């Protein structure tokens, strides 16, 4: 109770000191990189005394409990499906009015477009859009998702500010009509206290997956989705497996059965079943990353890859495709190759594996990978840059 009263007192003091009330608006809090970043940012601002509220269209996502544990107020709009429109908009406008937010921060196309309604609910509210992606094959999305994105390209000029989490995403959206002068890049932030090497977790996970200490475990973390390009990863795995019996592989993440089953069947045809674990979604990600020797991103499209940064924070070198900001994140702590090239990816994984053969070289590479994330992509850096951007926007609002 004392902790709650202290936090409430800090929030009241922040408001009295001129810290703006911020409302985050997102479709859902399901498992995903953008949703994880929203929770980290909202919880971090809350710890720093900012008055923060999160509003979601669909409740019950995996990150809802995390927000609640952090003490961040959450409003679930209880959207009952795609065609729940009138009732949903009424509930959204009511939430925008009653929270009295000075800044409404949308996340991703739907949250961004809906955030503009804050101007109707409470004139004078500043609207920030959160751009969380780079090039995406939208032909694979349903018609409503495509329509929402096209609407965002037209309406982007109405946002007071646009925060992209990657240089690639900023450039891509500027080319689509987002006003470049209003876009700034604030990279994702990794909680390096949570994501760090876990020796006990490594041993536990490798026992669970029946991976011996002298075997090289290569992992792809991400939903089974065309953008993650498991086909190229499995092609690289088949090439490595044919050359050295020490290579083992794991895919961590869920996916739609109608897409995932053919991918798994292809792995079976390639003879990978004895060497490959389909681990499904996991919550103990620091232990999962620690169990790997090399983390791989075979994506054909990314903005800022949380997976790469989280794995590096756990001291794991990476082999990645040159999409989005992946090469920028990895730096010299791994290997970068062109997308959709299984032969090149296999060679990159082999090069990183060679660096790990010598214990001293391995220790240096692992330490450098973590240091790069701590220095350049920490949660503290995300909070610092976000606070500066939000305060600058609120200063303009007050002057206006």
Give the pLDDT score at 82. 85
302 and 264 together in one domain: yes
Matching residue, tokens 């010598």? 358
Question: Cβ contacts of residue 210 below 8 Å, gap of 6+?
Answer: none
Instruction: Identify the domain containing residue 157 by its residue range.
Output: 2-189+379-399
361 and 383 together in one domain: no
Per DSSP, helices labelled H in the chain are: 2-16, 33-47, 64-70, 86-99, 108-115, 118-121, 143-155, 167-175, 199-208, 230-243, 257-269, 285-291, 306-313, 326-330, 342-355, 359-376, 379-399
Q: What are residue 216's DSSP bridge partners?
A: 247
350 and 369 together in one domain: yes
DSSP class of 255? B
Task: Domain count for the chain, please give it.
Answer: 2
129 and 182 together in one domain: yes
183 and 275 together in one domain: no
Asked if residue 126 belongs to a domain, the reply is: yes
| Contacts within 8 Å (CB) and 24+ apart, 195-198 | 195/285, 195/286, 195/289, 195/310, 195/313, 195/314, 195/373, 196/286, 196/313, 196/314, 196/315, 196/370, 197/290, 197/314, 197/315, 197/366, 197/370, 198/286, 198/287, 198/290, 198/314
Residue 295 in contact with residue 326, Cβ under 8 Å?
no
In the predicted structure, residue 238 carries a pLDDT above the cut 80: yes
Asked if residue 96 belongs to a domain, the reply is: yes
Q: What three-state secondary structure class fits 316? A: coil
pLDDT digits (tens, 9 = 90+) for 240-279: 999 999 999 999 999 999 999 999 999 999 999 999 999 9
Angle between the 306-313 and 359-376 helix axes, to the nearest 10 degrees? 120
Asked if residue 109 belongs to a domain, the reply is: yes
* Conformational region of residue 60, where left means phi above 0, alpha means psi within -120 to 50, and beta covers everything else: left
Give the pLDDT score at 114. 96
164 and 21 together in one domain: yes
Give the pLDDT score at 328. 96
Give the pLDDT score at 16. 47
Q: What three-state secondary structure class fits 246? A: coil
387 and 372 together in one domain: no
Give the pLDDT score at 11. 45
Instruction: To the nearest 10°, report the CA torsion of 273, 276, 282, 287.
Output: 150
* Conformational region of residue 315, where left means phi above 0, alpha means psi within -120 to 50, and beta covers everything else: left
108 and 228 together in one domain: no
Q: Work out the pLDDT band at 145, boundaries 50, 70, 90.
A: confident
What number is the average pLDDT over the span 124-151?
81
Q: Work out the pLDDT band at 138, boundaries 50, 70, 90.
A: low
What number is the average pLDDT over the span 308-330?
97
* Conformational region of residue 292, where left means phi above 0, alpha means psi within -120 to 50, and beta covers everything else: beta
77 and 167 together in one domain: yes
Matching residue, tokens 């720093």? 48
User: Residue 310: which CATH number?
Assistant: 3.40.50.2000
Asked if residue 194 belongs to a domain, the reply is: no
- Quote the tokens at residue 364: 């240096």
- Quote the tokens at residue 124: 């004078």
Give the pLDDT score at 26. 96
Three-point CA angle 134, 309, 390, nearest 5° = 65
Give the separation between CA 252 and CA 363, rounded to whole angstroms.
Answer: 25
169 and 310 together in one domain: no
User: Residue 53 phi/psi, 5° resolution?
Assistant: -135, 140
Asked if residue 131 belongs to a domain, the reply is: yes
Asked if residue 14 belongs to a domain, the reply is: yes
Give the separation between CA 330 and CA 157, rounded to whole angstroms.
Answer: 33
For the chain, the distance separating the N- and C-terminal CA atoms, rounded to the nearest angstrom, is 40
Pairing of strands 74-76, 52-58: parallel
182 and 205 together in one domain: no
What number is the average pLDDT over the span 306-319?
97
pLDDT digits (tens, 9 = 90+) for 346-385: 999 999 999 999 999 999 999 999 999 999 999 999 999 9
338 and 384 together in one domain: no
In the predicted structure, residue 7 carries a pLDDT above the cut 90: no
Give the pLDDT score at 31. 77
Matching residue, tokens 């202290």? 6
Give the pLDDT score at 128. 97
Pairing of strands 276-280, 294-297: unpaired
Give the pLDDT score at 149. 84
Residue 66 in contact with residue 54, Cβ under 8 Å?
no
- Quote the tokens at residue 318: 């990476």
pLDDT digits (tens, 9 = 90+) for 78-129: 999 888 999 999 999 999 999 999 999 999 999 999 999 999 999 999 999 9
């Amino acid at each position: 109770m004392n902790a709650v009263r202290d936090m409430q007192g800090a929030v009241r003091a922040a408001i009295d000191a001129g810290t703006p009330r911020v409302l985050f608006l997102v479709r859902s809090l399901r498992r995903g990189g953008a949703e994880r970043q929203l929770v980290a940012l909202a919880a971090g601002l809350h710890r720093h005394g900012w008055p923060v509220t999160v509003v979601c269209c669909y409740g019950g996502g995996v990150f809802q409990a995390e927000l609640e544990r952090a003490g961040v107020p959450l409003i679930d709009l209880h959207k009952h499906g795609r065609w729940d429109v009138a009732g949903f908009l009424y509930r959204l406008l009511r939430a925008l009015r009653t929270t009295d937010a000075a800044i409404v921060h949308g996340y991703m196309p739907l949250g961004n477009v809906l955030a503009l309604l804050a101007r109707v609910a409470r004139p004078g509210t500043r609207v920030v859009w959160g751009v969380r992606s780079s090039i995406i094959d939208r032909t694979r999305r349903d018609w409503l998702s495509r329509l929402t994105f096209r609407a965002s390209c037209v309406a982007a000029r109405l946002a007071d500010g646009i925060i992209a989490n990657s240089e690639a995403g900023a450039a891509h959206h500027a080319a689509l009509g987002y006003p470049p002068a209003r876009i700034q890049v604030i990279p994702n932030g990794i909680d390096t206290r949570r994501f760090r090497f876990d020796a006990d977790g490594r041993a536990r996970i490798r026992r669970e997956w029946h991976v011996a200490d002298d075997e090289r475990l290569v992992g792809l973390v991400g939903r089974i989705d065309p953008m993650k390009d498991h086909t190229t990863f499995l092609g690289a795995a088949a090439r490595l497996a044919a050359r050295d019996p020490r290579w083992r592989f794991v895919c961590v993440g869920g996916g739609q059965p109608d897409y995932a089953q053919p991918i798994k069947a292809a792995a079976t045809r390639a003879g990978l079943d004895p060497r490959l674990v389909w681990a499904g979604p996991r919550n103990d990600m620091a232990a999962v990353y620690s169990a790997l020797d090399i983390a791989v991103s075979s994506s054909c499209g990314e903005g800022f890859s949380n997976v790469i940064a989280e794995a590096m924070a756990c001291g794991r070198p990476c082999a990645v495709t040159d999409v989005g900001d992946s090469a920028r994140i990895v730096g010299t702590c791994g290997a970068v190759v062109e997308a959709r090239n299984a032969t090149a990816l296999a060679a990159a994984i082999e090069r990183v594996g060679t660096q790990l053969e010598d214990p001293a070289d391995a220790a240096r590479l692992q330490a450098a990978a973590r240091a790069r994330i701590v220095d350049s992509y920490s949660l503290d850096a995300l909070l610092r840059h976000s606070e500066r951007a939000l305060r600058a926007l609120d200063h303009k609002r007050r002057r206006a």
